[in-house]
Amino acid sequence: MSEFVIPGIRSTAASTADRVFPLERATRLKTEFARVFSQHLGNLESGARFETECILVTGQSGSGKTREIAELLKRFNASGIPLPGGRPARFAECILSGTQSWKDLGRNTIRALEYPLNDKARLTQAEIWERVVTEARLAGVVGIHYDEAQHIFRKKNEQELFAILDSFKTLMKSHDWPLILIFSGVPELEDYLLLEPQLHRLVNRIEFEDVSLPEDYDTVHEIVGSYALQAGLEVDEAILTEDFYRRLATAGAFRWGLIIKLTIGAVGAARVASAVALQVGHFIDAWVSKTQANRAATPFTHRAYETMYRKDHPFLEALRQ
């Protein structure tokens, strides 16, 4: 075995990489996605011109938006739903960054459709989006997920903002092949979409809420227990308390995605230690490994953890914020 491979960490990652814990929000997302797609498919079958809709998924960083949407789209693409003409329907995915212009947005969208656009190709805004629509239709792509969509709007002047918003509107209103859009990002994203009323009226919103205690104690308990069970670990009695679950929620800034990551990290630490049961110490190990904090000053050990670690700055002590 290589000195650079830690078997316990490797095996934990391999067994959890494609697993998504079934939170209630996943059902809401699937239901809304199915409604929008079913309407879109019916419109395609009618042969009439139509404008499609988009889904806006917002939540704090670390809430698990990307993972949930990726899992949904993986299942959708594998389902092979036939479109008029027989092609299987599928969705493309595109990650946005703050350095992109509307032209970069178009180029990256075309590449998300697996079309090899040359960087030196000189295309107007209209030509780029015409190419996107054409390639999407040929490939059976009915929609595009734009992840971290808030980034492309930040630090843009008014002209740049409206060029980007107009690009998105063009895709949804195309006469040849309207595209369903999924935007995901932090809550400020909706403020940008509000700037274009014609686009915003087509938006269907889903918010990924933070953990709320005591209502979500049972779900946090199920998360810890299910990941331990999958790893063949028992759960130490010290973990099975509301005090521990509140500490874990605080450590994860009350965001589901971060709580799950901390639990996976603790399971990895338990496997490295060849432990029989998942213990509080393994969560401390995961926290210290990530933050290099003193073991006496973690959310799992410190008496004043709720004031030391706040929701708005994950993994940072209040004194360092």
- In this structure, is residue 38 part of a structural domain? yes
Regarding whether 97 and 152 lie in a shared domain, the answer is yes
pLDDT at 42: 97
- Tell whether pTM > 0.85: yes
| Domain assignment present for 84 | yes
Listed residues 191, 207, 223: the one ending a domain = 207
Residue 237 and residue 200 in one domain: no
Look at residue 117 in the predicted model and tell me its pLDDT.
67
**Is position 17 within any domain?**
no
DSSP letters along 16-30, please? HTT-----HHHHHHH
Interatomic CA distance for residues 86 and 45, integer angstroms: 11
Q: What is the CATH number of the domain that holds 154?
A: 3.40.50.300
Residue 153 falls inside a structural domain? yes
Of 172, 207, 242, the position where a domain reaches its end is: 207
115 and 229: one domain?
A: no
Q: Judge if 308 and 250 occupy the same domain.
A: yes
Mean pLDDT by 10 residues, the chain (321 residues): 87 88 94 98 95 96 94 97 95 87 82 76 77 93 96 90 90 94 96 93 95 97 96 96 97 96 96 96 95 92 88 70 47
Residue 3 domain-assigned (yes or no): no
Residue 238's domain comprises 211-320
The domain total for the chain is 2
Q: Could you say which of 207, 232, 254 is where a domain stops? A: 207
Residues 143 and 37 in one domain: yes
pLDDT at 285: 96
- Distant-in-sequence, close-in-space partners of 175: CB < 8 Å, separation ≥ 6: 49
Q: Both 281 and 238 in a single domain?
A: yes
Domain assignment present for residue 236? The answer is yes
93 with 178, same domain: the answer is yes
What are the tokens at 7? 């078997």
Instruction: Let me know whether 184 and 279 are in one domain.
Output: no
Residue 214 is predicted with a pLDDT of 96
In sequence order, the β-bridge partners of residue 235 are: 278
In this structure, what token pair is assigned to residue 309?
Answer: 């670690």
Task: Report the DSSP beta bridge partners of residue 144.
Answer: 92, 181
- Give yes or no: residues 223 and 255 share one domain: yes
